[in-house]
Amino acid sequence: MSRTSRLEYAYKGEKHTLREWSKITGITYGTLYSRILDHKWSLEDAFNKPVRKKKSKSDTKNIEMEKETPKIEVISSQIKGPKTKFNLSDDNYYSNEANLVYCSASQFKDFVGFPLRPGCEERALKAISGEYKQENTKALLQGSLLDALWENDDPDYIMERFPDCVSTRGVTKGQLKSEYQQVMDMYQRTLREEKFCAYMSGDKQTIMTGTIEGLDFKIKMDSFIDGKAIVDLKTTKSLDRNLRYYIPDSGERLPFYLAYGYDTQLAIYREIVRQNTGDKLRCYIAAVDKDAHPTCDIIELNNKLLDDALEHVKSHCNHIIMLKKGEIEPIRCERSECDYCRDTHKCQVISSEEFELSDE
């Protein structure tokens, strides 16, 4: 399904491409690629050695950590935390019921906002009840495809999850649509980077729950390296160190990870993991950019940044609890960028003076 090379590997009298061997052996393409091309394993080993954990790729020894935090408890993909109210699983993680019981990093950002997108309390509540659905933008779609590829890059699995990814008509029939091909190129690019693969080698999509200032949270981590690190996979416009996003409300110019509130997200992850394991882990963004020649980096968010972000989270928890219980009325943002507020806007008769005059 992607532009892979025709290179074939002969083993026990059979010749197949790596993708075909992946199907035959049941080992993901990413693992085989890493074993054979990055780590130069023999085909015998690459095809037969057990994969350490179902959702785990290459081993994690390459990660340079200054000190190892003591292991307190082994976490696999099983869910930790209070189970009395709701049994959270892969199948119901994104359900309305789960969103009602648990806040998530994205729900928090819906309520409170992040620098590039102020929050809208009413929209956040309607999203929980299912009355408002966020549009599937190209950027969201690309992000979830990249997550899925790292989870399992078997073409059948990808086709099942993204049935629209192949063009069905015209001269491009049978080929990946361009926005998907772009993600495939980004994915292939990251596979060539040993460091990137090492940080992405943790348990994929690990779910945990916990409580911050009385508000129950659920988290789902892209790559959780027990006792070592929390890694979140992100696509971004460019990894140019000088690129800043202008924030109209504050006049600030912020790097992408602050403009999009990734510090808030990882502060929540770090705190929930700490509650489950006792380890305050290092937090990283595994970022790959959308340039025609994609490049990637691992960005560590420093502790001060995460501590500040956690304080910010804590200061809003009680308000969100009251909103979710219906004890206080949600505020509408009434911003022109808010789809929800636009769709539910009531036509008004207003004075011309309500339109602000430009300063310039």
**Nearest distance, CB of residue 124 and Zn ion, angstroms:** 9
**Nearest distance, CB of residue 216 and Zn ion, angstroms:** 25
Two structure tokens written together for 355: 């339109």
Q: Checking DSSP bridges between strand 282-289 and strand 296-301, what pairing results, if any?
A: antiparallel
Q: Does 117 bind Zn ion (CB under 5 A)?
A: no
The stretch near Zn ion (CB under 5 A) out of 96-104, 117-125, 174-182, 297-305 is 117-125
Interacting positions 221-260 with Zn ion (CB under 5 A) = none
Nearer to Zn ion (CB atom), residue 99 or residue 209: 99
Give the total of residues touching Zn ion (CB under 5 A): 5
Q: What 3-state DSSP class applies to 90?
A: coil
- CA–CA separation, 354 and 342 (whole Å): 18
- CA–CA separation, 268 and 211 (whole Å): 10
The stretch near Zn ion (CB under 5 A) out of 123-131, 278-286, 304-312, 321-329 is 123-131
Q: Is the dihedral of CA 294, 160, 89, 151 positive or negative?
A: negative
Nearer to Zn ion (CB atom), residue 118 or residue 155: 118
- CA–CA separation, 77 and 274 (whole Å): 16
The stretch near Zn ion (CB under 5 A) out of 50-58, 99-107, 121-129, 242-250 is 121-129
**Nearest distance, CB of residue 337 and Zn ion, angstroms:** 8
Nearer to Zn ion (CB atom), residue 15 or residue 335: 335
Contact 31, 37 (CB under 8 A): no
Nearer to Zn ion (CB atom), residue 148 or residue 323: 323
Nearer to Zn ion (CB atom), residue 120 or residue 148: 120
Nearer to Zn ion (CB atom), residue 192 or residue 335: 335
Two structure tokens written together for 288: 């790959």
Nearer to Zn ion (CB atom), residue 91 or residue 135: 135
Residue among 123, 234, 316, 324 that touches Zn ion (CB under 5 A): 123
Contact 220, 205 (CB under 8 A): yes
Nearer to Zn ion (CB atom), residue 305 or residue 341: 341
Contact 107, 99 (CB under 8 A): yes
Query: Please, which residues have CB within 8 angstroms of residue 293's CB and are 6 or more apart in sequence?
Result: none
CA distance from start to end of the chain: 53
Q: Does 341 bind Zn ion (CB under 5 A)?
A: yes
Transcribe 243-288 into DSSP letters: --EE-TTT--EE-HHHHTTHHHHHHHHHHHHHHHHS---EEEEEEE
Contact 182, 188 (CB under 8 A): no
The strand ranges marked E within 150-214 are: 203-212
- Residues 299-338, mask of contacts with Zn ion (x by CB under 5 A): ----------------------------------x----x
Query: Please, which residues have CB within 8 angstroms of residue 328's CB and are 6 or more apart in sequence?
Result: 319, 322
Nearer to Zn ion (CB atom), residue 123 or residue 204: 123
Q: Does 98 bind Zn ion (CB under 5 A)?
A: no
Residue among 46, 120, 158, 208 that touches Zn ion (CB under 5 A): 120
Beta partners for residue 210, in sequence order: 217
**Nearest distance, CB of residue 218 and Zn ion, angstroms:** 24
Among left, alpha and beta (phi > 0; psi -120 to 50; other), residue 13 is left
In the complex, the residues that contact Zn ion under the rule CB under 5 A are: 120, 123, 333, 338, 341
